[in-house]
Amino acid sequence: MARSNRSSSNSNQTFLLWLGLSGLLLAIDQLSKILAKGNLVEGVSNPVTSFLNWTLVYNPGAAFSFLAQAGGWQRWFFTGLGIAAALLIVWLIRKNAQQTLFCLAMSLILSGAVGNVIDRVMYGAVVDFIDVYYLHWHWPAFNIADSAITLGVILLIFDEIKRVNK
């Protein structure tokens, strides 16, 4: 019985570490958005390098401004979707807490999903401010949460490829 308790305790600690990582990334995301809102003027580009601007924009839609002009219902749809995804991800991390790469990927995705849900609830749109470009081509503006989601998805795909190849 003691061994089972120790295993359960380790799993709980690992689960809490993954949630802690998500919480840390969420805090960084929200702090970066507060700084962007406090120091940038909406729509005005502030050059940082030859390929990067800080440009404050609000995205009421999804990735690449999908459904941005949908009339408002998308705010609550994407908020609900983000909350449902976050709950599922927490459950998946809890269930698989010892799978390092999988949980790292899920923790990244969780922090990004919750970060963007907070924006939708507080501001009615996601706060974006990172503008990457080359010559006259600009990638759609994004934020730390979007970066965490993207990296998490890449790691999730890598983890699945690794699992399938075993």
Annotated active-site residue in 29, 119, 131, 146: 146
In the numeric block, the tokens 């490829």 are attached to: 161
Known catalytic residue: 159? no
How confident is the model at residue 77, as a pLDDT?
Answer: 83
How confident is the model at residue 1, as a pLDDT?
Answer: 47
- For 120, residues 6+ apart whose C-beta sits below 8 A from its C-beta are 75, 78, 79, 82, 126
What does the pLDDT profile of the chain (166 residues) look like in tens digits? Answer: 454 566 677 889 999 999 999 999 999 999 999 999 999 999 999 999 999 999 999 987 666 555 555 566 777 887 898 999 999 999 999 999 999 999 999 999 999 999 999 999 999 999 999 999 998 898 999 999 999 999 999 999 999 999 899 8
Would you say 76 and 92 are in contact if contact means Cβ atoms under 8 Å apart?
A: no
Annotated active-site residue in 29, 119, 128, 131: 128
Distance of alpha carbon 119 from alpha carbon 129, whole angstroms? 13
Instruction: Please state, in angstroms and as integers, the Cα–Cα distance from residue 78 to each residue in 26, 53, 75, 114, 137, following that order.
Output: 18, 27, 6, 11, 28
Q: In the sheet where 126-134 sits, what is the strand order?
A: 45-47, 52-59, 126-134, 137-138
How confident is the model at residue 64, as a pLDDT?
Answer: 57
DSSP code for 49: S
Known catalytic residue: 29? no
What residues does each domain of the chain span?
2-165
Instruction: Please state, in angstroms and as integers, the Cα–Cα distance from residue 126 to each residue in 15, 19, 84, 112, following that order.
Output: 28, 22, 18, 11
How far from each other are the two terminal CA atoms of the chain, in whole angstroms? Answer: 32
